[in-house]
Amino acid sequence: MTHIFGRGLVAALAIGLGCGGVFALFYGANGLVERFAPGNSKNRLLPWVYLTPALLLLAVYLVLPTLVTIYISCFDARSQAFVGLTNYLTVFTDKTMGEAFRNNLLWLVGVTGGSVSLGLLIAVLADRVRYEPVPKTLIFLPMAISFVGASVIWKFIYAFRPAGTAQIGLLNAVVTSLGFEPVGWLVERSINNLALIAIMIWLQTGFCMVLLSAAVKGIPQEIIEAARLDGASEGQIFWRITLPLIRSTILVVSTTTILLVLKVFDIVYVMTAGNQGTEVLASRMFKEMFSFRHYGRGSAIAVLLLLAVIPIMVLNIREFRRPTPLR
């Protein structure tokens, strides 16, 4: 009992130190400038007092590492010999990398298409019933669950027992009760990627639904009523009025999902560790770094990720700037 208490105390101490430290830093620096900086220079110095910690951290954690990564992507495994673009060539010709590219593409299409269309469907349907918050909360809830937690949940759903024994995985229980043989969902190469993608759809649909629902509700009721008076059917209203009006939100939701999927790592790492043909770029990079200790190739994959992200991010920020999320 005492050692639990002791460990709790240590944790509390660490938390206090970390949180208190940052305030002490600003308070001290501000006090120094206010007291010792002569008259006019005070106003010129203060902005930098407030900015420096942020700029320092951004430089150390984002700017410099990015530059270094680009640089060492042109070196060998231990960053000693310059190898030009060899790493990139390897990355593009390697067989498992080909698999990773193919899988990432599959993820992009599957997750983005699945969660955006399901999210839109639920948003539109829930808009028409009085108990709207209930399905919306239930479907949104997985958003709070970590990829690791979700992986355990779904691993249990996909659990496989040999034919003849009782199935404890929900999916195989359904399959066997219908008279089929149980399926190794995470082992069969033809379906294991889809099984992983389903997890991501389960997690991501709530996000798409919330944004799309807000957009659907943002359409002025008069426009819908005007269309109805003009004789449009509910289907026509959806395809010809609603959909074009929420186009911008669909774009934001899709690009956001794409960005997330491009870097998907946790699900694959926990569920299959990238085996049985389920490798994706991010899990491959992790392997290059920690299993093969090949920093050159790991960096090259990271650079490819960056190159893939930039155009989508630019598109996203441009669309994102239109609605104001916080007001």
88 counts as binding another protein under rule CB under 8 A: no
CA torsion sign for 302, 305, 307, 310 is negative
- Considering the complex, what minimum distance in angstroms separates the CB of residue 18 from another protein? 3
Position 95 contacts another protein (CB under 8 A): no
Q: How far is CA 249 from CA 241, 294, 317, in A?
A: 14, 41, 12
38, 39, 164, 220: which one binds another protein (CB under 8 A)? 39
**91 touching another protein, by CB under 8 A:** no
Among 2, 5, 47, 220, binds another protein (CB under 8 A): 47
Choice between 54 and 229, CB closer to another protein: 54
Residue from 1, 144, 178, 229 touching another protein (CB under 8 A): that is 144
Residue given tokens 């150390």 in the structure block: 60
Q: Does 64 bind another protein (CB under 8 A)?
A: yes
**CB neighbour burial string for 79-94, b if at least 16 within 10 angstroms, e if fewer:** eeeebeebbbeebeee
Rounded Cα–Cα distance for residues 45 and 35 (Å):
12
Taking CB under 8 A as the binding criterion, the range among 39-47, 179-187, 189-197, 218-226 that sits at the site for another protein is 39-47
The pattern of x and - marking residues 257 through 286 that bind another protein according to CB under 8 A reads: --x--xx-xx--xx-----------x--xx
What part of residues 173-212 is at the interface with another protein (CB under 8 A)?
Answer: 173, 202, 205-207, 210-211
291 lies in the binding site for another protein (CB under 8 A): no
Kindly state whether residue 256 participates in binding another protein, applying the rule CB under 8 A.
yes
Are the C-beta atoms of residues 142 and 150 closer than 8 Å to each other? Answer: yes
In total, the chain counts a number of residues equal to: 327
Lookup: tokens for 232: 């449009």
CB of 229 vs another protein, minimal distance in Å: 20
Looking at 99-107, 154-162, 225-233, 239-247, which segment touches another protein (CB under 8 A)? 154-162
Three-state DSSP state, 324? coil
Q: Least distance to another protein from the beta carbon of 299, Å?
A: 6
Complete DSSP assignment for 233-262: -HHHHIIIIIHHHTHHHHHHHHHHHHHHHH
**74 is an interface residue for another protein by CB under 8 A:** no
Which of 114, 182, 274, 298 lies at the binding interface for another protein (CB under 8 A)? 298
| Residue 322 binding another protein, by CB under 8 A | no
CA–CA dist 72, 82 (Å, integer): 8
User: Is position 15 an interface residue for another protein (rule: CB under 8 A)?
Assistant: yes
Q: Is 66 in the site for another protein (CB under 8 A)?
A: yes
Cβ 175 to another protein, closest distance in Å?
Answer: 12
Phi, psi of 24 (to 5 degrees): -60, -40
Shortest Å, Cβ 84 to another protein: 18
Is residue 76 a contact residue for another protein (CB under 8 A)? no
Q: What is the DSSP string of 47-89?
A: HHHHHHHHHHHHIIIIIHHHHHHHHHTTB-TTS-SB-TTHHHH
Count CA atoms within 13 Å of residue 35 on its CB side. Answer: 6
CB of 153 to another protein, least distance (A): 5
Determine if 111 is a binding residue for another protein (CB under 8 A): no
Least separation in angstroms between CB 137 and another protein: 8
- Number of residues binding to another protein, judged by CB under 8 A: 113
Q: What is the largest CA-CA distance in the chain?
A: 85
